């Protein structure tokens, strides 16, 4: 019985002398160096197709409803201010004018009689005032009917070119319904559409270069321009943003509808576009981010590699990559996968992709 305590003591001493297990190694991660997205052609220029448009386009229509009985111009017709473009059937408007003028004449005759009777003190002043008011109302109604009758004729309010005909003779149109689209003489500009993934990098006033397929009358076939405006809302069908590029020293008679190509220098394009693996993006609430690798040194002089969360601005996603336009400058080393497994400040070991020979 005395030997048992000795055996237990021997086992305890043996257990205390065992070597403690080695500490867990840092997580092993694969990294990638942030590089620019796919280069664009033309030496970094971004080009967009467009067409020549007038800065101001006017839609013309009748101010009253009626049936079109005459159209005097076609699409492409050059018109002058005041030129008659179309007419409505004047029958109803003419009848209303005749009725209103008859009512005015009757009110005028009654007013004349009442004034004569008032001069002889046969009626009171209040009775004469009533007839004065009735005449003014009838006269105003006649003037309104005269205007309505004049509205059966549609005339150009300024010089320009008929860009589109939207109604034909025999058609019944409502008040204000578009009948013609008039392009006034004046400044020309280029209409383009910007993709939703790139529109954030454009600002009004940026320089542009406009080239034309048809170069007749255009020195060198190119003109300088500036981005004038960008639509704040995307087109619901194409998901692009309409933009206008004003032309510098352009002929105001430049043919409308002419095809054009607008190129923006790299500084005017959608910022510096960087490409990162899709699996490297970590979604923190509504803010995308990546894990940036930080290199340091330990007190003993060894390497100390950790990760830091870096918020980024993503312009678009593809099947395998994300295009970043903010938060990174290029050349950073980031975690290429497993973004949801890492924590801020965590020590890691790196596996870099093999370099091509």
Of residues 145 and 39, which shows the higher confidence score?
A: 145
Residue 285 has a pLDDT of: 77
The mean pLDDT value for 201-212 works out to 87
The mean pLDDT value for 3-31 works out to 64
DSSP string, 91-117: HHHHHHHHHHHHHHHHHHHHHHHHHHH
Most confident of 51-60, 172-181, 245-254: 172-181
- Residue 95, pLDDT > 90, answer yes
- Give the confidence band of 34 by pLDDT, cuts at 50, 70, 90: confident
Residue 40 has a pLDDT of: 45
- Residue 269, pLDDT > 50, answer no
The mean pLDDT value for 308-316 works out to 86
| CATH class of residue range 27-40+272-351 | mainly beta
C-alpha–C-alpha distance, residues 225 and 187, integer Å: 12
The mean pLDDT value for 72-87 works out to 92
C-alpha–C-alpha distance, residues 113 and 123, integer Å: 11
The mean pLDDT value for 197-204 works out to 82
Residue 19 has a pLDDT of: 60
Residue 342 has a pLDDT of: 85
The mean pLDDT value for 58-73 works out to 94
Angle, helix 125-150 to helix 91-119, in steps of 10 degrees: 160
C-alpha–C-alpha distance, residues 252 and 270, integer Å: 30
- Give the confidence band of 299 by pLDDT, cuts at 50, 70, 90: low
The mean pLDDT value for 73-93 works out to 92
Residue 44 has a pLDDT of: 47
- Strand 321-326 relative to strand 274-277, pairing: antiparallel
- Residue 41, pLDDT > 60, answer no
DSSP string, 252-270: TTPPTT-EEEEEE-GGGSS
C-alpha–C-alpha distance, residues 293 and 351, integer Å: 12
Q: Which listed CATH number (3.30.360.10, 3.30.590.20, 2.40.50.100, 3.40.50.970) goes with 64-88+152-184?
A: 2.40.50.100
Of residues 264 and 151, which shows the higher confidence score?
A: 151
How many separate helices (H) and strands (E) can be counted in the chain? 3, 24
The closest alpha carbon to 274, from 326, 351, 311, belongs to 326
Residue 302 neighbours by CB distance under 10 Å: 8
Of residues 82 and 272, which shows the higher confidence score?
A: 82
3-state secondary structure at position 300 = coil
C-alpha–C-alpha distance, residues 297 and 294, integer Å: 10
Q: Any idea which architecture 44-55+186-268 has in CATH?
A: Beta Barrel (2.40)
The answer to pTM > 0.85 is: no
- Residue 308, pLDDT > 70, answer yes
C-alpha–C-alpha distance, residues 252 and 248, integer Å: 11
- Residue 196, pLDDT > 90, answer no
- Give the confidence band of 278 by pLDDT, cuts at 50, 70, 90: confident
CB distance 247 to 264 below 8 Å: no
Mean model confidence pLDDT for the chain: 83
To which H or E segment does residue 8 belong? helix 3-16
Picking from 22-31, 266-275, 310-319, which range would have the lowest pLDDT averaged per residue?
Answer: 266-275
- Please provide the CATH number assigned to the domain covering 90-151: 1.10.287.470
The mean pLDDT value for 17-34 works out to 72
- Residue 240, pLDDT > 80, answer yes
Tokens of 353: 């992709």
- Residue 64, pLDDT > 50, answer yes
Residue 57 has a pLDDT of: 83
- What are the residue ranges spanned by the domains of the chain? 27-40+272-351, 44-55+186-268, 64-88+152-184, 90-151
3-state secondary structure at position 297 = strand
Residue 39 has a pLDDT of: 45
Most confident of 147-161, 277-291, 324-338: 147-161
- Give the confidence band of 241 by pLDDT, cuts at 50, 70, 90: very high
Of residues 284 and 124, which shows the higher confidence score?
A: 124
């Amino acid at each position: 019985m005395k030997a048992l305590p000795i055996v237990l003591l021997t086992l305890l001493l043996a257990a205390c002398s065992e070597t403690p297990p080695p500490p867990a190694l840092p997580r092993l991660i694969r990294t990638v160096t942030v590089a620019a997205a796919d280069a664009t052609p033309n030496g970094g220029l971004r080009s967009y197709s467009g067409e020549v448009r007038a800065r101001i386009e006017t839609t013309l229509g009748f101010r009253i409803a009626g049936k079109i009985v005459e159209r005097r111009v076609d699409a492409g017709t050059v018109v002058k201010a005041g030129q008659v473009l179309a007419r409505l059937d004047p029958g109803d408007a003419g009848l209303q004018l005749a009725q209103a003028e008859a009512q005015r004449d009757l009110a005028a005759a009654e007013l004349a009689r009442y004034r004569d009777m008032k001069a002889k003190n046969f009626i009171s002043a209040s009775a004469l005032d009533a007839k004065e008011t009735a005449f003014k109302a009838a006269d105003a109604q006649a003037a309104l009917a005269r205007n309505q009758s004049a509205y059966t004729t549609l005339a150009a309010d300024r010089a320009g070119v008929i860009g589109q005909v939207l109604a034909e003779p025999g058609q019944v149109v409502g008040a204000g319904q578009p009948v013609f689209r008039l392009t006034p003489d004046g400044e020309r500009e280029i209409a383009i559409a910007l993709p939703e993934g790139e529109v954030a990098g454009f600002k009004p006033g940026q320089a542009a270069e406009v080239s034309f397929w048809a170069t007749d009358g255009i020195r060198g076939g190119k003109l300088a321009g500036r981005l004038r405006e960008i639509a704040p809302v995307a087109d619901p069908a194409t998901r692009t943003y309409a933009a206008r590029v004003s032309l510098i020293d352009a002929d105001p008679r430049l043919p409308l509808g002419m095809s054009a190509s607008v190129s923006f220098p790299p500084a005017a394009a959608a910022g510096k576009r960087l490409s990162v693996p899709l699996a490297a993006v970590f979604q923190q609430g509504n803010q995308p981010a990546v894990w940036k690798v930080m290199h340091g040194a330990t007190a003993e002089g060894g390497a100390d590699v950790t990760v830091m969360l870096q918020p980024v601005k993503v312009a678009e996603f593809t099947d395998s990559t994300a295009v970043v336009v903010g938060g990174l400058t290029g050349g950073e080393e980031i975690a290429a996968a497993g973004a949801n497994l890492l924590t801020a400040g965590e020590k890691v070991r790196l596996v870099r992709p093999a370099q091509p020979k």
